[in-house]
Structure 1
């Protein structure tokens, strides 16, 4: 059974959360991306809360600016270190020692997962990243790879001042292609049922500014026309190293994040397992939930 609750953090942020499992058990935290929300993890919350699959305390917060979480108006309030602080303070309320047994993250959630593991490796037992680029390889590909620059060009649209108004118009007409524009898997787009669409409408109807602000605040996006890609900053190496056992689960038909982002990843992540999944897109959590659960479970049991 999925619980829902609001958690007030010491920094003043309130996160709306979904959870399953017994309080006090080892903690698993699940971080969503855009244009998603915490509900995408419901199946995995229930799976890993089951004693047969580890009996974890599983929590999926809605990131600040999403669903009913705090949504500050200032774009600067969406900088990565502040969202990482939100997750750290949430973990402190749910874990007796503030540690996370496993942090599972997708898309923008992965950006904060990479950052969390870099800043606080001693607080995470295992890291699972699902189709979310490491900042080191992402900066390189945005600077040097025209194909990735083109694949990421949508980021500049989402950073426009009028992005929320354009995305909300006509029953979110411009939002559905994020899903339907990806190559269909063996089951087509059958996962996008009317019930799932309604869950998305409710999330988007609560506001899209938080999600768009992530694109506005990040320096890691393709240069606008006429600007040199060399202006994209390369983070210092000490901010790129991840000394946590890490699984990267990568759907190979992701049209926005190309497989070149995996090249050189082991230079930043010494203890790394990469699992490439054919016939799956950026939305693999929806498309192949059983495969995702099985890969995570096998990794958690890895010696």
Structure 2
């Protein structure tokens, strides 16, 4: 049964959904753009039924209670700080961390900088940030895939283009691979005043300070072969950036939207990974 939480932190209160017993092994799941916590709805139910305590927050900018206006307030250090603050409020010293898309990037950084807090890492779609950075420098295919970033970072008319015609551009982004009920809920939220700008501020905050290190915790990386945003170069190179036990799962004919498009497969892989540690 899904629970609805409000998690107070120094940055504000995060909305979240949760499942499973309060004393279950803690799992924190981070969503991507332009989604929300409900992208993990299926995995939450599966984890909760197996006695894990699974919590998925609407992250900074997506929770109305934590929606700062300046792009600088969406820096990676703030996003990682939110993860640690949410975990602290939940009373979790160590937890399993799962992230998709932007949530995957935050999860990589959290595991690299605070491995003592992260029992296991599961990154979905998003390769290790250093592997992606290298691909952006050397791989023409990845450069083409990431071409949208320039527009999203530099122009405020992006919001209008995405919202025109009842959010037609946002709907196309999901490639008809995400349940209609989720898409409608995402659009309802993004049409709230300031919500889409807050979500895009993740792209406009600038690159993280410093260089990300290798990840020493047990890690599983799940990537769909039809992912439009992340190509095989960065996906295959991610292994070099994990020093702990590593598992790479390649899902054939699956796009970027793994948690919803391949919900059963993602839940099964996640359970296997958690049980292995």
Query: Which bin holds the TM-score, normalised by the shorter protein?
Result: over 0.9
Residue correspondence of structure 1 range 51-200 to structure 2 within 5 A: 53=50, 55-95=51-91, 97-100=92-95, 102-159=96-153, 160-180=155-175, 189=176, 191-193=178-180, 195-200=181-186
1:31–1:60 CA contact under 8 A, matched in 2 = yes
> Shift of the alpha carbon at 1:37?
0.6
C-alpha separation in 2, matches of 1:15 and 1:21: 19
C-alpha separation in 2, matches of 1:201 and 1:67: 14
TM-aligned CA distance change 1:114 to 1:94, over 3 Å: same
Whichever of the two has the greater Rg, that structure is 1
Question: For structure 2, which runs of at least 5 residues remain unmatched after alignment?
Answer: none
Task: Give the aligned partner of residue 28 of structure 1.
Answer: 27
Task: Give the aligned partner of residue 276 of structure 1.
Answer: 250
Deviates more, 1:17-26 or 1:262-271: 262-271
TM-aligned CA distance change 1:191 to 1:108, over 3 Å: closer
The count of aligned residue pairs is: 273
Task: Give the aligned partner of residue 234 of structure 2.
Answer: 261
> Shift of the alpha carbon at 1:161?
2.1
1:242 aligns with 2:215: yes
2:112–2:215 CA contact under 8 A, matched in 1 = yes
> Shift of the alpha carbon at 1:60?
0.4
The DSSP-based 3-state class of the residue aligned with 2:169 is coil
1:297 aligns with 2:267: no
C-alpha separation in 1, matches of 2:26 and 2:173: 31
TM-score by length of 2: 0.93
Task: Give the aligned partner of residue 183 of structure 1.
Answer: none
> Shift of the alpha carbon at 1:157?
2.0
TM-aligned CA distance change 1:191 to 1:142, over 3 Å: closer
Task: Give the aligned partner of residue 2 of structure 1.
Answer: 2
> Shift of the alpha carbon at 1:190?
6.1
The DSSP-based 3-state class of the residue aligned with 1:263 is helix
C-alpha separation in 2, matches of 1:67 and 1:92: 18
1:151–1:256 CA contact under 8 A, matched in 2 = yes
C-alpha separation in 1, matches of 2:247 and 2:65: 33
> Shift of the alpha carbon at 1:280?
0.3
C-alpha separation in 2, matches of 1:218 and 1:145: 22
TM-aligned CA distance change 1:33 to 1:69, over 3 Å: farther
Task: Give the aligned partner of residue 39 of structure 1.
Answer: 38
Task: Give the aligned partner of residue 230 of structure 1.
Answer: none
Q: Residue deviations 1:3-31, cap 9 Å, x none?
A: 1122210x232211111112232210000
